[in-house]
Structure 1
Amino acid sequence: MEIPRLGPLTLDEEGEHSSEPVPVPIFGRSCVFTVADPDGYATEPEAVHRAVAAFLDLDGSALAAAAPDAYEYYRDVTDFFEAEGYPYTRVPDVSRIWEHVTFGPDVRIEREDGRVYLSVECECSWEVEHGLQLVFRDGRAISRIGPYDGHLTNNGTDAIYRS
């Protein structure tokens, strides 16, 4: 399997295909891309190619657009921690939210409901146990933010973050 801009992908022991690390400008780091469902890829490879290209073309404006949703997730977690008396990391305002996120090294390419989703598991300073999942629908924009649970959508809603 080969995807434009990623190059050839290698089949692993789990039946998934993975790339070599590729620079991801929006994250300022290189990531390995994994096609989680090769059969789903085969149904419409051009859609995957378009989603990967769109994702690799994203700039900081995609993060800026989703910052309020990431901050809402932060507030929900820290409101709970505060109520329970647990210590937590303070993020002074929405403009500083991404300073507290370490973007993961792996991008999973998956299909659901006829769409292509790129999912990234990240670490964040305010929720060490569950982290942060970013999902990019068709590679064009962040369509879901929340704790890492592997879900690609918020139950059919257009909400980016849903508490």
Structure 2
Amino acid sequence: PYVYQFYRMYFDMADEYDWEQYLPDIPESQVWTLVDPIWDRCTVAWDNNNVLIVVEAETEWDIEHGMMMVLQNGTKLVKVGMAVESYTNPDGSIFFRQE
């Protein structure tokens, strides 16, 4: 659901930035068709005695920045967001929507 929320953030901005032609209105079940994981772009980092595994992926909705998914200790998803941001959100949320 977090990847879909990330996509919807861009979809909701489409009118403002004239992206309508690039962003189809799709159901949540189809969002992964717009994601192309790049498995050679994985990073391992430490945060408060936890191992963070960061997987970057290309997305059709943001070809410049893409998306990152961060797993804590290899099992717990702790972040979905732009690949240019920090590995975790300050408020502890998995997906943080900037307004």
TM-score above 0.5 = yes
Say yes or no: does 1:70 pair with 2:33. no
Structure 2 counterpart of 1:148, one-letter code = A
Say yes or no: does 1:95 pair with 2:29. yes
Identity percentage over the alignment? 24
The counterpart of 1:140, out of the listed 57, 75, 80, is 75
Gap regions ≥5 residues in structure 2: none
Give the number of the structure whose residues are more often helix, by fraction. Answer: 1
What's the CA shift string for 1:25-68, capped at 9, x where partnerless? xxxxxxxxxxxxxxxxxxxxxxxxxxxxxxxxxxxxxxxxxxx1
Q: Using the alignment, how far apart are the partners of 1:150 and 1:108 within structure 2?
A: 14
Matched-pair contact (CA < 8 Å) for 1:131–1:147: yes
Give the superposition deviation at 1:72.
0.8
User: Rg larger in 1 or in 2?
Assistant: 1
Matched-pair contact (CA < 8 Å) for 1:119–1:133: yes
Structure 1 counterpart of 2:16, one-letter code = A
Gap regions ≥5 residues in structure 1: 1-67
The counterpart of 1:113, out of the listed 43, 48, 61, is 48
Match of 1:131? 66
What is the DSSP-based 3-state SS (H/G/I as helix, E as strand, rest coil) of the residue aligned with 1:121?
strand
Say yes or no: does 1:151 pair with 2:86. yes
Residues 120-129 or 148-157, more deviating: 148-157
Give the number of the structure whose residues are more often strand, by fraction. Answer: 2
Give the superposition deviation at 1:74.
0.5
Give the superposition deviation at 1:160.
1.0
Say yes or no: does 1:81 pair with 2:14. yes
Q: TM-score, normalised by structure 1?
A: 0.54
Structure 2 counterpart of 1:153, one-letter code = T
Aligned ranges 1:11-26 → 2 under 5 Å: none
Q: Using the alignment, how far apart are the partners of 1:146 and 1:132 within structure 2?
A: 5
